[in-house]
Structure 1
Amino acid sequence: MSTEDVVRLAAGEAEVSVDAGNGGRLSSLRIGGVELLRQGAGFGSFPMVPWCGRVAEGRFRDGAEVRQLPLNNPPHAIHGTGREVPWKVVRASATEAVLSYELGDPWPYPGRVTQTVALEEGALTLSLGIEAYESSFPAQAGWHPWFLRDLGQGGEGVRLEFDAAWQEERGADHLPTGRRLDPLPGPWDDCFGMPEGVDVQVVWPGELELTVTSREQWVVVYDEQAEAVCVEPQTGPPNGLNTAPRLVTPLDPLEASTTWSWRRLG
């Protein structure tokens, strides 16, 4: 990782590092000097584009044509290509960074993805836009943050609080079956529906509450690892390229955003 690839933002007591060279991910989010994101090259928080979660056997249909993606999580393709490529820093200031990358192989359509990271006192807003140059194509956009279970300050472990309208039933292949269930207790590696918009509280009791919101109605919650939990707002469910695609056209890009806001507890 080159230091030239990392953009550092600051506002109030918050500091954010954006690693353009490593998949355009947030490599750090510190509040009052305390790190909230799991550290490591594959962690932090990365954008999921141009699809989110798993695509069944890496195949999706575009009209009459079936497209094949590399199986980077056999037997499926997972989390898009954006996390695997360097992004270009288009512009940056003390509180905002704009990054982009050109869609290409192994994604079968030309286009561009733009990400904006905007920090203010008490909140961070992440925005994604996917543009098509020529051919229209199905796509998804979302984010995959890894929030630490323990902030290392001697407090309790993290707690997730949310009220979903439904939970997508997960099959043995880890893909939604198409059935909707009343939300079940965790642990989770599951997709939930929030038709009024994503609203999840990540709470470190006595320390900090961080709220993840988005106008999108889908969120994947993953808490099966000991080190961190994930709250992933996205524009469709896993395997959504096949079941709930959003069409990107040269005149109609796909745009999505999420805001993380926080407040101290105790």
Structure 2
Amino acid sequence: MTTQETTLTAGDAEVTVQPGNGCRVSSLRIGGTELLRQGAKYGCFPMVPWCGRIRDGRFMDGGRTYQMPLNSPPHAIHGFARDAEWTTARTGEDEAVFTYDLAEPWPWTGRVTQLVRLTGDSLTLTLGIETYGDSFPAQAGWHPWFNRTLDGSDAQLDFAPAWQEERGDDHLPTGKRIDRTDGPWDDCFGMPDGVDVTLTWPGRLELKVASREQWAVVYDEQEAAVCVEPQTGPPDGLNTLPRLVTPVDPLEASTTWTWRAL
């Protein structure tokens, strides 16, 4: 794994991407303050070609069952892209494009593209998945680790989902939709009008995570970080709600984070 980095700047915002480490956003600094948890496994990584857990690592397509490696036994989790080395396709002062070719053990060939665009008060991440041949089911999303505490101020979460996916003992949705419970969460929420979650560090910063996608996992069971994960479907979605990537209809998803000082 290589350690090359790409840094973009706009106003007092600076974002660093590590294409050699799963094309993760390793750093987002606003006015010199780091918003993302630091460490090789943290930052914000793309979840491709699926999001969250696949039950027992198995999913079906066209009557055939496929088995993925159990990288979070007894399940497979978060896809392969976060562990892969990506290629830098294009960079500028405030925008960069990276690519990753799907390969074994994924049964199909295709390309994933991530566009990173920074302004003085926003970061937009866009993922695209295209096939080189046959159609296949897939998901795309992001797993950011936001620092729970900024300069002594603890993050507060504000969101109003239409429902919460009931979580089973295996951490996967049971298929039942319930009203939002009190946290802490490792849960998936439905937002039919698009993902809209606000993190506020009182007296420091407000950051809104938005997406046209209708699903988000919120994970705040760790003391150090809060995760708000926009994605194209729920966990185990390759089985329950797959999106089909076809030669004429690639999968594309986007999320924008906007912020303001308080």
**TM-score with structure 1 length normalisation?**
0.97
In the TM superposition, residue 2 of structure 1 has moved relative to its aligned partner by 4.7
Q: How many residues are treated as equivalent by the alignment?
A: 262
RMSD: 0.8
- 1:204 aligns with 201
User: Aligned runs of 1:110-189 on 2, under 5 Å?
Assistant: 110-151=109-150, 153-154=151-152, 156-189=153-186
Per-residue CA distance 1:43-92 (angstroms, 9 max, x = gap):
00000000000000000001111000000000000001000100000000
- 1:229 aligns with 226
Q: Give the Cα separation in 1 of the matches to 2:16 and 2:105.
A: 28
User: Aligned runs of 1:60-139 on 2, under 5 Å?
Assistant: 60-139=59-138
Per-residue CA distance 1:87-125 (angstroms, 9 max, x = gap):
000000010010001000111100000000000110000
- Taking only the aligned residue pairs, the percentage that are identical comes to 67
Q: Give the Cα separation in 1 of the matches to 2:259 and 2:63.
A: 46
**TM-score with structure 2 length normalisation?**
0.99
Q: Give the Cα separation in 2 of the matches to 1:141 and 1:252.
A: 14
Runs of 4+ in 1 over 3 A off after TM superposition: none
Q: Give the Cα separation in 2 of the matches to 1:103 and 1:114.
A: 11
Per-residue CA distance 1:221-264 (angstroms, 9 max, x = gap):
00000100100000000000000000001111000000000001
- 1:32 aligns with 31
Q: Give the Cα separation in 1 of the matches to 2:54 and 2:129.
A: 18
Per-residue CA distance 1:13-37 (angstroms, 9 max, x = gap):
1000000000000000000000000
5+ residue gaps, structure 1:
none
5+ residue gaps, structure 2:
none
In the TM superposition, residue 9 of structure 1 has moved relative to its aligned partner by 0.2
Alignment partner of 1:21: what SS?
A: helix
Alignment partner of 2:111: what SS?
A: strand
Q: Give the Cα separation in 2 of the matches to 1:126 and 1:67.
A: 29
Q: Which amino acid aligns with 1:238?
A: P
